[in-house]
Amino acid sequence: MTQPPGFEIEGKEHKVYKLIKALYGLKQDPRASYANIDEYVKKFGLQRSESDDTLYVQQWGKYLVILVMYVDDLIITSNHDDHIA
């Protein structure tokens, strides 16, 4: 770790802060969020992918809904607008 550009302190370039926990909350937060969202999404019939825990898919005949989670974002897409709503 190094001091950010523009914030170096002359003569103390080797000194940096050692963090005891993650900057944006506890390290377990993403895991807990995924567990809550997983339970909620499954109520709507979406199935979690076997290869990626953050990918959910549901298919009704020719209609497809895909939901992807990434940290604190959700992306929902479908080939039919009514299924997203």
Q: What is the pLDDT of residues 6-49, one digit of tens each?
A: 888 888 888 887 766 665 555 556 666 677 788 888 888 889 99
What is the domain range of residue 52? Answer: 29-84
Total domains present in the chain = 1
Judge whether 16 lies within some domain: no
Two tokens, residue 41: 């999404």
- Does residue 10 fall inside a structural domain? no
- Give the model's pLDDT for residue 25: 55
Where does the pLDDT of residue 67 fall: very low under 50, low under 70, confident under 90, or very high at 90 and above? Answer: very high
Q: Distance between CA 6 and CA 25 in Å, rounded? A: 26
pLDDT of residue 13: 82
Q: Residue 78: its pLDDT value, please?
A: 92
Tokens coding 55: 């990918």
Q: Is residue 6 part of a domain?
A: no
Tokens of 1: 């770790």
**pLDDT-derived band at 56, boundaries 50, 70, 90:** very high
CA-wise closest residue to 45 among 82, 80, 81, 83: 83
